[in-house]
Amino acid sequence: MHRRHLLAAGASLPLLFAVPGRAALAAPAMPAPTAFDDDTVPALARALAARAYVPPTRELPPPLDTIDYDQFRDYRFRPDQALWREAGAPFQAQLFHRGFIFKERIELHLVEDGRATPLPYRRELFDFGPQTPPPDDPALGYAGLRLHAPVNSADHFDELIVFLGASYFRAVAKGLAYGLSARGLALGSGDPGPEEFPLFRAFWLQRPARGSDAVIVHALLDGPSVAGAYRFAITPDGEETLVDVDARLYPRVELRNAGIAPLTSMFEFDAGDRAGVDDFRPAVHDSDGLSLLNGKGEQVWRPLRNPAQIEQSGFQDTHPRGFGLMQRKRDFADFQDAEGAYEKRPSAWVEPQGDWGAGEVHLVELPTENEFGDNIVAFWRPEAPLAAGREHRFRYRLHWCRDQVWLPQLAHVVATRSGEGDGEGPRPRLFVIDLDGGRLAALPADAAPRVEASASAGELRNPVAYRLGNGRWRMSFELWPGDAALVELRARLLDASGEPLSETWLSRWPA
**C-beta of residue 501 within 8 angstroms of C-beta of residue 465:** no
Whole-number pLDDT of residue 9: 34
Taking only the tens place, the pLDDT of each residue in 426-454 is: 889 999 999 999 999 999 988 999 999 99
Whole-number pLDDT of residue 21: 33
Mean pLDDT for the chain overall: 91
Whole-number pLDDT of residue 89: 84
Whole-number pLDDT of residue 503: 98
Judged by DSSP in three states, 40 sits in helix
- Measured between alpha carbons, how far apart are the two ends of the chain, in Å? 33
Which residues in the chain land under pLDDT 50? 1-29
**C-beta of residue 220 within 8 angstroms of C-beta of residue 18:** no
Whole-number pLDDT of residue 511: 64
Say how far apart CA 104 and CA 276 lie, in whole Å: 40
Taking only the tens place, the pLDDT of each residue in 248-302 is: 999 999 999 999 999 999 999 998 888 889 999 999 999 999 999 999 999 999 9
**C-beta of residue 288 within 8 angstroms of C-beta of residue 327:** yes
Say how far apart CA 190 and CA 188 lie, in whole Å: 6
| Region of residue 34 (left: phi > 0; alpha: psi -120 to 50; beta: else) | beta
Task: Give the number of other CB atoms < 10 A from CB of residue 222.
Answer: 29
Long-range contacts of 303-306 (CB under 8 A, 24+ apart): 303/272, 303/273, 303/413, 303/416, 303/505, 303/507, 304/265, 304/267, 304/273, 304/365, 304/376, 305/267, 305/273, 305/365, 305/508, 305/511, 306/267, 306/268, 306/269, 306/273, 306/365, 306/367, 306/368, 306/375
**C-beta of residue 119 within 8 angstroms of C-beta of residue 84:** no
Say how far apart CA 286 and CA 374 lie, in whole Å: 9
Whole-number pLDDT of residue 22: 32
Whole-number pLDDT of residue 43: 98
Backbone angles phi, psi at 284, to 5 degrees: -145, 110
**What Cα–Cα distance (Å) separates residue 291 from each residue in 127, 287, 362, 396, 500?**
42, 11, 12, 16, 17
| Cβ within 8 Å of residue 273, ≥6 positions away | 303, 304, 305, 306, 511
Fill in the DSSP letter of residue 64.
T
Fill in the DSSP letter of residue 189.
T
pTM tops 0.95 = no
Is there a cis peptide before residue 63, judged by omega within 30 degrees of 0?
yes
DSSP element (H, E) containing 41: helix 40-49
The domains of the chain, with CATH numbers, are: 3-401 (2.70.98.10), 412-509 (2.60.40.10)
